[in-house]
């Protein structure tokens, strides 16, 4: 192989390296976020895995080295042969490692990094297990990862356990973490056990001291890292990538390169960019021509969605850009308000009232916004009525960090929407069992709803862009009385106070996630266009239960008007589709006038009134997705 002597525009250093075989073959880039509690060994793990270093890799920032913690996003990579699942698409897979800070005060940086990743390594100190910031990283993963296959839990520092106890202790830790992850999409996540810096001498995050001598003289290299790389390789799936649509790149670093120009490094979120193309920096309202590009020291002529790339332009003062966006000219404009389709984070224990403020992160920007929530009931009815195939628009290709459980939906401006008093989790009921049930059942995930976000300062975000809402002020997210977090679970960890806490470190601060449905520039939002209304809530109860879902007797004979329930309603709750209720209406009300009205169960289940049942205001309701019901289960109008 020949030495290239190339200038690395992805980190501003002369590499003097050699051209790898992968440089001339097709390469699939997979962005892997490395997250975890401070001092869990994330940077040491990145050091052990990486073969190519790039922007801010391995805590190059002087303050990072001085303080012994990661302060900024660091980027590095390693390449493996393509697994069978993607062999038809590429020759090699390049894993770009996004080393995220672990300190709670750097949550904005962590969220920004999480929005550009395809997979996630959750690094856990094997001697300590789940810690407060570990739990918050799980929440971030819940908002951005599609399934358990997108996350690997890395139990690091295994070498600090006595060798004769190591296997048993690791097995107990894995079992405990699986219990703690119950109710999340990561309950079946895979584990890897490593010693990224045997003896504690990795010099990584939280390690500013001199390296200690290895406990075993043979342990001078990282243990378990090769197996971890192979596990990551086995989990690679054919990604959703597209070069169509306008170019949009999340810029995370910018620096001047003498004799070359100014380099913008970042991840392409949509579209493609080529050498010679004009790009816009919308925050500065300037356009510049792309002089050259590199992908990890490899000169390229083109980069597309999912690629990490360094883009060199001329005539740009690097001091004007830190983080932001680059895009095709005219593709992005300043957004002062947006309607987003969102879900609540089920582990957040605070309240998010309509009209209240929260921090909203989109890309690498975090700004304050005033939020108004609406449409949960109407959207539930829409999603119940349409098939899964109708939930996705044809040709929609999500960017890295796309949301698997936020379907593309639109606001029907001709429709009336119920304005909610607050962001709903679907379990905001007097029943104390509702929150626990919603937090531990996939069916009980928070409902889809709309949020009108009015930003204090403009942001540059495309339609469909990811948004994450947080309460980052000092007392945000405080758990109300009777919060319902089960001891030892992720929500309990996220709500528990951290002894060295501060700045809200001891609580889950992320309250919602979703994507932008419609964006508005200055003066474009006419609040009157949103047909919001409020209503007095009606409450009733179930007095009879239909046949259990999947067969079996219930208590649901339809004859007679006033029976107080059948056998299915007198014991524990059954999962049924048909129930009979009372007390929503007066005894003399014409129930027929309310046929078609949406009703909700105690855990947010959505159904419709189908007809009257006898007299005295009683009715029959059907829940297409089922309801956990027994005699006395509350109902309310949605």
Q: Give long-range contacts, CB 8 A cutoff, 24+ apart: 60-69.
A: 65/208, 66/208, 67/208, 68/205, 68/206, 68/207, 68/208, 68/209, 69/38, 69/39, 69/101, 69/102, 69/103, 69/205, 69/206
Q: Which domains does the chain have, with CATH numbers?
A: 27-201+221-235 (3.40.50.300), 248-327 (2.40.30.10), 335-384+406-430+444-473+507-531 (2.40.30.10), 538-548+574-637 (2.40.10.190)
DSSP 615: S
Residue 25: predicted pLDDT? 52
Q: CA-CA distance, 382 to 391, in Å (whole number)?
A: 10
Q: Identify whether the C-beta of residue 467 lies closer than 8 Å to the C-beta of residue 453.
A: yes
Residue 443: predicted pLDDT? 46
Report pLDDT digits (tens) over 470-483.
998 754 333 333 34
Q: Taking Cα atoms as reference points, which of 250, 248, 265, 247 lies closest to residue 318?
A: 265
Residue 386: predicted pLDDT? 52
* Helices of type H across 50-189: 62-67, 107-114, 132-144, 163-180
Residue 379: predicted pLDDT? 82
Q: Count of alpha carbons within 13 Å of 109, Cβ hemisphere only?
A: 19
Q: Identify whether the C-beta of residue 555 lies closer than 8 Å to the C-beta of residue 542.
A: no
Residue 464: predicted pLDDT? 85
3-state secondary structure of 379: helix
Q: Are strands 52-53 and 272-274 parallel, antiparallel or unpaired?
A: unpaired
**Which parts of the chain register pLDDT below 70?**
1-25, 55-72, 102-107, 200-221, 383-404, 427-444, 474-506, 527-528, 549-572, 638
Residue 32: predicted pLDDT? 93
CB atoms within 10 A of CB 302: 14
pTM of structure: 0.70
Q: CA-CA distance, 580 to 618, in Å (whole number)?
A: 7
3-state secondary structure of 378: helix
Report pLDDT digits (tens) over 336-380.
999 999 999 888 888 999 999 999 998 888 899 999 999 998 887
Cα 484 from chain centroid (whole Å): 23
Angle at the Cα of 130 from the Cα atoms of 127 and 135, rounded to 5 degrees = 155
Output phi, psi for 264, to 5 deg: -105, 120
Q: Are strands 365-374 and 449-459 parallel, antiparallel or unpaired?
A: antiparallel
What is the separation, in whole angstroms, between the first and last Cα of the chain? 68
What is the per-residue DSSP string for 206-264? Answer: T--SPPPPPSSTT--S-BSHHHHHHHHHHH---------S--EEEEEEEEEETTTEEEE
């Amino acid at each position: 192989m020949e030495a290239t002597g190339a200038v690395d525009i992805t980190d501003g250093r002369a590499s003097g390296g050699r051209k790898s075989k992968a440089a001339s073959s097709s390469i699939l880039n997979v962005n892997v976020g490395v997250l975890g509690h401070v001092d869990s060994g994330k940077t040491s793990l990145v050091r052990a895995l990486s073969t190519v270093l790039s922007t801010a890799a391995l805590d190059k920032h002087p303050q990072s080295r001085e303080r012994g913690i990661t302060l900024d996003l660091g980027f590095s990579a390693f390449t493996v042969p393509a697994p069978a699942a993607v062999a038809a698409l590429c020759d090699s897979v390049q894993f770009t490692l996004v080393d995220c800070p672990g300190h709670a005060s750097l949550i904005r940086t962590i969220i920004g990094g999480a929005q550009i990743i395809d997979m996630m390594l959750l690094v856990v100190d094997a001697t300590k297990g789940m810690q407060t910031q570990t739990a918050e990283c799980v929440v971030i993963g819940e908002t951005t990862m599609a399934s358990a296959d997108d996350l690997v839990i890395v139990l690091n520092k295994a070498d600090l356990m006595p060798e004769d106890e190591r296997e048993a202790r690791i097995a107990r830790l894995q079992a405990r973490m699986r219990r703690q992850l119950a109710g999340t999409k990561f309950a079946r996540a895979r584990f890897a056990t490593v010693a990224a810096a045997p003896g504690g001498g990795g010099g990584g995050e939280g390690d500013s001291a001199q390296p200690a001598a290895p406990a075993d003289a043979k342990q001078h290299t990282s243990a378990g890292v090769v197996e971890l790389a192979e596990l990551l390789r086995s989990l690679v799936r054919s990604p959703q990538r597209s070069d169509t649509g306008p170019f949009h790149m999340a810029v995370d670093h910018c620096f001047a390169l003498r004799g070359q120009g100014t380099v913008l490094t970042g991840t392409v979120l949509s579209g493609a960019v080529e050498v010679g193309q004009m790009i816009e920096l919308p925050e500065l309202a300037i356009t510049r021509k792309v002089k050259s590009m590199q992908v990890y020291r490899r000169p390229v002529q083109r980069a597309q969605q999912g690629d990490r790339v360094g883009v060199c332009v001329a005539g740009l003062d690097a001091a004007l850009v830190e983080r932001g966006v680059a895009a095709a000219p005219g593709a992005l404009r300043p957004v002062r308000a947006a309607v987003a389709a969102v879900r609540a984070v089920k582990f957040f224990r605070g309240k998010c009232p309509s009209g209240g403020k929260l921090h909203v992160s989109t890309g690498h920007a975090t700004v304050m916004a005033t939020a108004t929530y609406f449409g949960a009931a109407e959207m539930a009815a829409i999603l119940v009525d349409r098939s899964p195939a109708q939930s996705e628009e044809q040709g929609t290709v999500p960017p890295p960090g796309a949301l698997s459980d936020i379907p593309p939906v639109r606001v029907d401006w001709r429709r009336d929407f119920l304005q909610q008093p607050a962001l709903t989790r679907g379990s905001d009921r007097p029943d104390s069992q509702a929150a626990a049930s919603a937090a531990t059942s996939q069916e009980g995930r928070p409902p889809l709803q709309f949020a009108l976000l009015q930003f204090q300062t403009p942001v540059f975000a495309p339609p469909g862009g990811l948004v994450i809402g947080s309460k980052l002020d000092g007392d945000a997210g405080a758990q109300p009385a009777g919060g319902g977090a089960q001891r030892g679970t992720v929500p309990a960890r996220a709500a528990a106070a951290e002894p060295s806490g501060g700045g809200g470190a001891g609580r889950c601060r992320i309250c919602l996630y979703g994507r932008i449905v419609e964006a508005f520039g200055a003066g474009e939002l006419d609040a009157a266009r949103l047909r919001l209304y409020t209503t007095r809530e009606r409450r009733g109860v179930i007095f009879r239960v239909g046949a259990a879902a999947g067969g079996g007797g219930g208590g649901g004979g339809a004859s007679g008007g006033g029976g107080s329930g059948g056998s299915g309603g007198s014991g524990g709750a059954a999962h049924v589709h048909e129930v009979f209720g009372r007390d929503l209406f007066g005894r003399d009300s014409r129930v027929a006038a309310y046929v078609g009205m949406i009703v909700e169960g105690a855990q947010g289940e959505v159904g419709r009134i189908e007809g009257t049942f006898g007299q005295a205001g009683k009715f029959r309701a059907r829940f297409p997705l089922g309801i956990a019901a027994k005699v006395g289960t509350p109902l309310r109008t949605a």
